Amino acid sequence: MSTPPNPAAVQKGDELPPLRVHLTRTDLVRYAGASGDFNPIHWSDRVAGVAGLPGVIAHGMLTMAVAGRVVTDWIGDASLVRSYGTRFTRPVVVPDDDTGALVEFTGTVADVTGSDGVRVARIDVKALFEGKSVLGRATAEVVLPD
C-alpha cells in the first residue's frame, strides 16, 4: 500500500494501481467466518446447485471488499472513504481447486470536486472475472488529504 505521492495533484483520469486476486474456497470459508455470512451457496456445491447456480460463488460482499482495497491501498487510510457502493451484476464462481477464481480489479479517478476546502475524488472501480464485469457502477468517494 502507498499514499498517493501528492494528493493535491490527483486529477480526473488518474489510474490506481490494479489488483489481481485469486479467490479460493479457503478465502470464502475465511470470509464467511469473519463476516458472519454463512449462506451455504458460498461453500456447498449441493446447495449452490439447488439454488440454480453453476457452483459455489463468492460472497458479493467479499468481491466488494477486495475491490475496495484498490481504493484503500492507494489512499492509505480507510477513514478517508466517504461512500462506497456497487451493484452485483454477475457471480464469481469459485472452483474447488488450488487456484481459485482470478478476479482483476482496476480503479480510475472519475472526478475530483472541491467544496469548503475539501477535495473529494470519485473513484470508479472495475472487477473482471473471466473477462466479464462482476461489479456494476462500483464507485467510492474519497477525501484527498491536504
Residues lying near other proteins in the complex (CB under 8 A) are found at 1, 21, 27, 30-31, 33-37, 39, 50-52, 60-62, 64-66, 68-69, 71-73, 76-79, 81-88, 140
Phi, psi of 58 (to 5 degrees): -70, 150
* Cβ atoms 86, 67 nearer than 8 A: yes
Q: How far apart are CA 111 and CA 54, in angstroms?
A: 38
Which of 27/129 has CB closer to other proteins? 27
Quickly count: other Cβ atoms within 10 Å of residue 108's Cβ.
15
> What minimum distance in Å lies between the beta carbon of 63 and other proteins?
10
Which of 13/116 has CB closer to other proteins? 116
Which of 8/61 has CB closer to other proteins? 61
> What minimum distance in Å lies between the beta carbon of 83 and other proteins?
5
Which of 36/117 has CB closer to other proteins? 36
> What minimum distance in Å lies between the beta carbon of 75 and other proteins?
10
Q: How far apart are CA 9 and CA 54, in angstroms?
A: 45
> What minimum distance in Å lies between the beta carbon of 130 and other proteins?
19
Q: Among all chains, which residue has been given the C-alpha cell 480526473? A: 12
* Cβ atoms 123, 140 nearer than 8 A: yes
